[in-house]
Structure 1
Amino acid sequence: MDILRRELQRFKRMLFPHLHTSQSSESEMQEQGGLITEGRQQDNSASEGALKITLHVLKEMGRKDLADELEKRKYQQVHCQFYFKLQKLKRFEYIFEGVAQHGNQTLLNKVYTELYIIEGGSGTVNTEHEVRQIEAATRRRPTEVKPIKCEDIYKPLPGQHGFIRTVLTEGISGIGKTVCVQKFNLDWAEGRVNQDIQLLINLPFRELNLMKRDYTLTELLHHFLEEAKEAGISNFGKYKLVLIFDGLDECRLPLDFIHNEPCCSVSQPTSVDVLLTNLIKGNLLPSAHIWITSRPAAADRIPADLVHRVTEIQGFNDPQKEEYFRKKISDQNMASRVISHVKSTRSLHIMCHIPVFSWISATVLQRILEETERKRTEEDGDRREMPKTLTQMYTHFLVYNSVIRTRKYSQEEEEASQTQAQVKTDEEMILKLGKLAFEHLMKGNMIFYESELNEYNINVSDAAKDSGIFTEISENEFGFHLEKVYCFVHLSIQEFFAAMYVFHTFTRFSQNLLEQQETTAVKQAASDITSLLKSAVDKALQSNNGQLDLFLRFLLGLSQTPNQTLLRSVLTTVGSSSPRNEEIVKYIKEKIHENHSTGRSINLFHCLSELNDQSLVEEIQNYLSSGSLSETKLSPSQWSALVFVLLTSKEDMDEFDLRKYSRSEEGLLRLLPVIKESRVVLLKECNLTGNCCEALAQILSSGTPCLKELDLSDNDLQDSGVELLSYGLARPTCQLEKLRLPFCGITEIGCRFLADALRSNPCHLKELDLSYNHPGKQGVELLSAVLNDITMYCVLFLLSTDACKLTLDANTAHSHLSIFGDNKNMTRMETALPYPDSPERFTDWGQVLCQEGLSGRHYWEAEWTGQWTGIGVAYKGIRRKAEGNECVLGYNDQSWSLRYCHGKYTAWYNKSDADISAPYFSSKRAGIFLDWSAGTLSFYAVSSNAMTHLHTYHTEFSEPLYPELFTGESVSWQ
């Protein structure tokens, strides 16, 4: 009977898959996991056959009435879905890339370039300007995570299980979120993918903002899918349904998940805000899929526990940029020239990570190249240079759009006076849009409703008509008619218009819009545009989230004469004012020197590029090319320049080695932004203490997907530093895979902190190296226990400190040194011992070598009595006889030593000593670590529960090294 019941259920599901969906609880779906989608697709392919069999059986049973009813219901279902898809095709088949001349739209499938989508977000809110986020993204190596195709966002990845109900897709402005939604709709409508979906409803937040009255859920969905209302569909729970909420960052609803009352009835009228929170919570339509798109800064408006998958659109990678240009520009020779120019200009190449900017670049560069070819044919010497800065690119783009509008108008109107009037009208519109852009940029607004545009006397139909600058959103994309919604094509265009308006207002009316109050004296001084630029720099630096960073770059760029000349071709009333470049450049450099946050400093270097000043960058590049940077004391400005150079380099940020730049905590703290963008970070032997671990912990916990390996070997971190570091390791956002902490003075206390961190975040760390520390028995047991308790694979290195076995060579021992205890111990005698003569023996100084010549990595310890001794290493060829001190350990170029005298240490090499600023040590025990291939020899003061770094030699060893002892009352190898 059970088998028969299951077969009947399966047969029923083939006939009416939506009924099966509505009757399955979410928990049942979660149990079935990834089999749901695959099973439904198989069922759909069998549905037609099942229908034919059922109709035949019913007719044979004499139940033609049931057969007719079944056939009618299936016909209605197929007909409705066909009608829905037809409407989707009409709405989403074309894409509006800015200027649409005479309805000449572009087929989406013709220009669509696959976007790079990965699973997982940062888990934190990124408050940096989105251009900074793009710069960071372009430096990262391709992730090992397999990218997700747009149509597969609800499908579990290999090894994943469970019903994926709500997906949150993050991406910065212009990265392609809405285009991704459009492509998802189009592919479904064309029958390419996701054919198990029966209804697909788009609910953009910008439209939801306008819905003020109470609605039932059915009324709300009918508003956004009128075809469903016409087809008489009201029980949406019967259908395999996807609800798409595009633009969470544009939402002006409170989305109060805490205080909104529960709503479980589709027929209960309530506010749109309550409906949305209950939909996302799953109180309404629990079996429906929900897709939400958002800019990163607003993503945290949805509680994390309500989101089953987070994806991130990372824009175009380098091959995709080239693919887009070749699709966009039909002349492949011209496309190659455009690609070559973009690659040659780093700032443009970075911005082309954003699809919208790739479109802007293709539009501008293609036009300039076409004009160049035309003028070459006409032998006209007046040829425009290709833009190299963002301001030049956007100014050309504005001119291009104005020319298109004027040409179209002149084609429609015969009289020249009317064309002149159109130019004046365009100029007035540009200034009105500029005022709108500036005032709403200061408020953080990116979308504008018709009522808001009316406040600026903007003719909405004229503003959006045939414009690649300002566009109507709602009607073009979704066909709704509550109130029209508008925006600039991209946030960067709004920022450019804002800068242009501020520049125009200053040069035309001597009014500084960035100053809240202006006295007469200030207005009189405003004739020098440098005062405006300085106030803009100050205003941008005051913004915590970099809101005015790009605005500042545009404003500085517009102050340059070439851009003003180009701008006056479309904005004839703009004034002419050349700043004293030396003064504003000096002012910006002073701000860099004042050590503002790295994000601000990096933007200030971009500002210097707009002013054509590269002096700081060139200075650092000279240091790097000469190899002298690590020996140079850098100023704050030079540190910032180094960060800028490293972060804007074309090279992948894969491995960062601090030793190339500075072996110091200052170097680490100054270069933290570079560390954050690196996959492997080498901080070995950089004279670090536990003080730096707090900054490293912040990077670990920030959710950066880059940092995978961290080497802190041979730094005096101590347990206090490990405690700070463990705060970052314990966060679930930490994705570190390898952590190396040899020779860091870690005891049982530090092991306890690490064990707690591993227990809190057991998912990522695969290798933990704690060799050459002092964990003690309990420390080892703590770490071993936590690794056994949690389901993780982590290799733990806890090498003992007696890994290197040494024996003293009696044939080299001075005659007053007695060797005993399996040649492990030495003591000084008052009288000479009867050693046989040997050319290997030290005759003038109380020294002895070991038998073992060492290369590779080795650690050993020495312990002594008395108040002075020397330990170190030497080449085999060190002199054994000398009248002076040339054969003394550390007094030649054949040996390296550490000398102990009354609790103080000094390091000696080739008769040069280096004082060691360390406290008095009562313990007479030292550790020596040799990394022969790396050219390092390190010394440590060792006690029962601590290990303190004393000194490290850095050189290039040419032959094996022999451990050596020098005098002392009694010394033994451990």
Structure 2
Amino acid sequence: QVLKQCHAPPDLWSMTLLEHNHCVSMETYGAMCPYKLKSSLKKKFQCVFEGIAKEGTPTLLNQIYTELYITEGRFTEVNSEHEVRQIEAASRKSDGIEPKIKQEDIFKLSTERDEPIRTVMTTGVAGIGKTVLTQKFALDWAEGKDNQDIQFIFLFSFRELNVLKEKMFSLVELVNHFFPEMTEEGICRFQDFRVLFIFDGLDECRLLGTLLSSACIWITTRPAAANQIPPEYVNMVTEVRGFNDRQKEEYFRKRFSEEEQRSIIISHIKRSRSLHIMCHIPVFCWISAKVLEKVLKTKEGGELPKTLTEMYVHFLVVQCKQKNIKYDGGAVTDSHWSPETKKMIESLAKLAFEQLHKGNLIFYESDLTEGGIDIRAASLYSGVFTQVFQEESGLYQDKMFSFVHLSVQEFLAALHVYLTFFNSGVNLMSKGTSVWSRLFKAEPDSVSLYQNAVDQALQSPNGHLDLFLRFLLGLSLENNQRLLHGLVKETESSSLTNHKTVQYIKNKISSTSCPEKSINLFHCLIELNDCSLTKEIQQHLSSGRLPIDKLSTFHWSALVFILLSSEEELNVFDLDKYSASDEVLLKLLPVVKAFTKAV
């Protein structure tokens, strides 16, 4: 409903929204207000706090900003799949196929279009860079670099607007509220200027309304919320794909000035396919950079984390060490997990699990207090937890909270399930867990825990438990338990448990007909350090002798996983290389679909 009166005649709005009692001459207004607005935007957006909000050391946006891969999209059915699945699918697309759009050209008329672009919707998964993209656009305008034909740019986030949901605002009052520098001269008639309104994060919107009849409008959203705006009200859809392979390298080269260090980090990211895929997300690049830099310093070039679980375990350790040094004077010597730190992490993990179960990515003060979380203490974990204060107006004290990325929430949720099981014997993944079964359970059965988790993940039609499952299985490994020593209980050798879990996953791969689910199960095997079958298939591929007639369903699934995980660009797929038969075509259909061209 946001744009339903998009094409209403401007005179319907001129009295109600666009006039103000204080009017000055157009010449004076045009000269003064943009200058004040640009100064305000420069002050607001010239610095960025990567991964966190208003914590840590700020970095100049222009120094760290790495160009994003943006393409023109289209209205399709809403994609409700887990965003990691969407990232993996995007990673298989060749960079050269779809026309790339530069961020400064989003509202510029292209040769293919007859009419100017007025309304744009930009989609992209969480953490892919949509917010920083809009901030960079506004900053470049404020610094006089691009889009100087626009007289005013007003950038709002729906997180901020949600706080005002009980208030009544006209458009003028809304602008004055968030941009107080505009009130000094008074707002005149916007239709005399070219104005751009940017609304960031439609998926976080809790409001309904109709407004804006003739201004330029740019809305960003995660794909799952894109259908809230009917297609007829949008001139162009764009999609932020995050970083392509070249941009990933560019990010790490900007991040690390020492040549040897950045060379080691870039090479390591390339070698681990799961890390390389996740680095499409700028926030994950930030997490990886933070972890790998610290590990290289402390281990003097020792083994770096290769799996997602290892990366996030290190990330949690790094954040808690930072908190200890910054706020506790580094008093903890034998463990990073002081009683206060341990209690806070356990509380955050419980919150992550409960809110993930409800499908919530943003929570409020009441959610924290209900979980017994001290808000001031939570804000100390700046890298793990983001606190957004509505400081711009100075009138409202409402606070909203979120983890720096959905994957961090999923990791902590898995940690909660793991801690609950080994501390109290309660299997949160078992649907039949009752009070009586908790009381009379003689000994926790960890095999059941992991098998229940696998079953629940497979039952999720959109893969919403895919990453959560990878993390839970990864936490069963001894090397990750050693890193979490002091936070998690020491358990007996888990080799037998892991063997049973691996076999259970392999059986599920053989019986599932969904390629996406099979792919995630292979990622689960990687988290469990079992790559036996994929290595076997890779050896056959390297030798050029793939025994097509002897491959089981499991082998075919492994072949699909290997081909889709290949570092090579998926341009042309030649079925003849394997077997030009209908049967093989059907088995390799997911691969055929991923390639640009198939022969």
Classify 1:592/1:631 alpha carbon distance in 2 versus 1 (closer, same or farther; 3 Å).
closer
Which digits, 9 at most, give the CA deviation of each residue in 1:78-123, with x for residues without a partner? 2222211122122111111146897521111110001111112462
Instruction: Report what 2:345 is aligned to.
Output: 430
Instruction: Report what 1:307 is aligned to.
Output: 234
More displaced 10-residue stretch of structure 1: 499-508 or 437-446: 437-446
Higher helix share: 2
- Are 1:583 and 2:500 an aligned pair? yes
Classify 1:662/1:526 alpha carbon distance in 2 versus 1 (closer, same or farther; 3 Å).
farther
More displaced 10-residue stretch of structure 1: 240-249 or 466-475: 466-475
State how 1:619-634 maps to structure 2 within 5 Å. 619-629=536-546, 631-634=548-551
State how 1:511-550 maps to structure 2 within 5 Å. 511-519=426-434, 520-521=436-437, 524=441, 527-550=444-467
Which digits, 9 at most, give the CA deviation of each residue in 1:178-197, with x for residues without a partner? 11011112112222112222
State how 1:767-778 maps to structure 2 within 5 Å. none
Instruction: Report what 1:245 is aligned to.
Output: 199
- Cα distance in 1 between the residues matched to 2:84 and 2:446: 26
The one-letter amino acid of 1:119's match is E
- Cα distance in 2 between the residues matched to 1:303 and 1:218: 25
| Residue of structure 2 aligned with 1:189, choices 128, 139, 142 | 142
Q: 1:562 offset after TM fit, Å? A: 0.6
| Residue of structure 2 aligned with 1:143, choices 90, 96, 104 | 96
Instruction: Report what 2:294 is aligned to.
Output: 367
- Are 1:394 and 2:276 an aligned pair? no
Instruction: Report what 1:18 is aligned to.
Output: none
Q: Is the 8 A contact 1:99 1:468 kept in 2?
A: yes
Q: Is the 8 A contact 1:97 1:468 kept in 2?
A: no
Q: Is the 8 A contact 2:172 2:187 kept in 1?
A: no
- Cα distance in 1 between the residues matched to 2:228 and 2:54: 39
- Are 1:198 and 2:151 an aligned pair? yes
- Cα distance in 1 between the residues matched to 2:472 and 2:107: 44
Q: Is the 8 A contact 2:572 2:598 kept in 1?
A: yes
The one-letter amino acid of 1:205's match is F
State how 1:330-341 maps to structure 2 within 5 Å. 330-341=257-268
The one-letter amino acid of 2:109's match is P
- Are 1:225 and 2:140 an aligned pair? no
The one-letter amino acid of 1:399's match is V
More displaced 10-residue stretch of structure 1: 314-323 or 225-234: 225-234
Normalising by structure 1, report the TM-score. Answer: 0.56
> Does the residue aligned with 1:134 lie in a helix, a strand or coil?
helix
- Cα distance in 2 between the residues matched to 1:584 and 1:156: 56
Classify 1:126/1:672 alpha carbon distance in 2 versus 1 (closer, same or farther; 3 Å).
farther
RMSD: 2.9
Classify 1:456/1:237 alpha carbon distance in 2 versus 1 (closer, same or farther; 3 Å).
farther
Which digits, 9 at most, give the CA deviation of each residue in 1:714-769, with x for residues without a partner? xxxxxxxxxxxxxxxxxxxxxxxxxxxxxxxxxxxxxxxxxxxxxxxxxxxxxxxx
- Cα distance in 1 between the residues matched to 2:549 and 2:296: 45
| Residue of structure 2 aligned with 1:455, choices 370, 373, 380 | 370
- Are 1:611 and 2:564 an aligned pair? no
The one-letter amino acid of 1:201's match is F
Q: Is the 8 A contact 1:406 1:422 kept in 2?
A: no
State how 1:63-102 maps to structure 2 within 5 Å. 74-98=27-51
- Are 1:385 and 2:300 an aligned pair? no
Instruction: Report what 2:126 is aligned to.
Output: 173
Q: Is the 8 A contact 1:465 1:471 kept in 2?
A: no
- Cα distance in 2 between the residues matched to 1:665 and 1:169: 40
Structure of greater Rg:
1
Classify 1:513/1:479 alpha carbon distance in 2 versus 1 (closer, same or farther; 3 Å).
farther
Instruction: Report what 1:126 is aligned to.
Output: 79
Structure 2: which 5+ runs fail to align? 1-7, 11-22
Higher strand share: 1
- Cα distance in 2 between the residues matched to 1:417 and 1:613: 36
Q: 1:287 offset after TM fit, Å? A: 2.0
| Residue of structure 2 aligned with 1:406, choices 319, 324, 349 | 324
> Does the residue aligned with 1:544 lie in a helix, a strand or coil?
coil
- Are 1:681 and 2:595 an aligned pair? no
Q: Is the 8 A contact 2:388 2:400 kept in 1?
A: yes
The one-letter amino acid of 1:515's match is S
- Are 1:324 and 2:251 an aligned pair? yes
| Residue of structure 2 aligned with 1:509, choices 424, 433, 436 | 424
- Are 1:556 and 2:510 an aligned pair? no
Q: 1:517 offset after TM fit, Å? A: 3.5
| Residue of structure 2 aligned with 1:439, choices 354, 358, 361 | 354
> Does the residue aligned with 2:429 lie in a helix, a strand or coil?
coil
Q: 1:493 offset after TM fit, Å? A: 0.6
Q: 1:476 offset after TM fit, Å? A: 7.5
Classify 1:230/1:661 alpha carbon distance in 2 versus 1 (closer, same or farther; 3 Å).
same
The one-letter amino acid of 1:395's match is V
Which digits, 9 at most, give the CA deviation of each residue in 1:873-916, with x for residues without a partner? xxxxxxxxxxxxxxxxxxxxxxxxxxxxxxxxxxxxxxxxxxxx
Instruction: Report what 1:803 is aligned to.
Output: none
Normalising by structure 2, report the TM-score. Answer: 0.90
The one-letter amino acid of 1:114's match is E
Q: 1:73 offset after TM fit, Å? A: 5.1
Instruction: Report what 1:108 is aligned to.
Output: 61
- Cα distance in 1 between the residues matched to 2:266 and 2:325: 28
Q: 1:592 offset after TM fit, Å? A: 0.7
Instruction: Report what 1:806 is aligned to.
Output: none
More displaced 10-residue stretch of structure 1: 609-618 or 574-583: 574-583
Q: 1:673 offset after TM fit, Å? A: 1.5
> Does the residue aligned with 1:203 lie in a helix, a strand or coil?
strand
Classify 1:146/1:521 alpha carbon distance in 2 versus 1 (closer, same or farther; 3 Å).
closer
Q: 1:477 offset after TM fit, Å? A: 8.8
- Cα distance in 2 between the residues matched to 1:464 and 1:456: 15
Classify 1:530/1:234 alpha carbon distance in 2 versus 1 (closer, same or farther; 3 Å).
farther
Q: Is the 8 A contact 2:52 2:404 kept in 1?
A: no
- Cα distance in 2 between the residues matched to 1:677 and 1:419: 50
Which digits, 9 at most, give the CA deviation of each residue in 1:150-195, with x for residues without a partner? 1211112223220211101111111100110111121122221122
> Does the residue aligned with 2:303 lie in a helix, a strand or coil?
coil
Instruction: Report what 2:219 is aligned to.
Output: 292
Q: Is the 8 A contact 1:92 1:477 kept in 2?
A: no
- Cα distance in 2 between the residues matched to 1:610 and 1:418: 30
Q: 1:577 offset after TM fit, Å? A: 5.2
Classify 1:466/1:437 alpha carbon distance in 2 versus 1 (closer, same or farther; 3 Å).
closer
Instruction: Report what 1:152 is aligned to.
Output: 105
- Cα distance in 1 between the residues matched to 2:52 and 2:221: 25
Classify 1:400/1:87 alpha carbon distance in 2 versus 1 (closer, same or farther; 3 Å).
same
Q: 1:666 offset after TM fit, Å? A: 3.1
Larger RCO: 1 or 2 (CA < 8 Å, sep 6+): 2
> Does the residue aligned with 1:473 lie in a helix, a strand or coil?
strand
Instruction: Report what 2:589 is aligned to.
Output: 672
| Residue of structure 2 aligned with 1:212, choices 166, 169, 182 | 166
Q: 1:132 offset after TM fit, Å? A: 1.9
The one-letter amino acid of 1:368's match is V
The one-letter amino acid of 2:565's match is T
- Cα distance in 1 between the residues matched to 2:443 and 2:587: 37
> Does the residue aligned with 2:561 lie in a helix, a strand or coil?
helix
- Are 1:349 and 2:267 an aligned pair? no
Q: Is the 8 A contact 1:169 1:310 kept in 2?
A: yes
Instruction: Report what 1:782 is aligned to.
Output: none
- Cα distance in 1 between the residues matched to 2:150 and 2:91: 35
- Cα distance in 1 between the residues matched to 2:395 and 2:541: 58
Q: Is the 8 A contact 1:560 1:578 kept in 2?
A: no
> Does the residue aligned with 1:363 lie in a helix, a strand or coil?
helix
Q: Is the 8 A contact 1:630 1:662 kept in 2?
A: no
Instruction: Report what 2:399 is aligned to.
Output: 484
Classify 1:151/1:576 alpha carbon distance in 2 versus 1 (closer, same or farther; 3 Å).
same
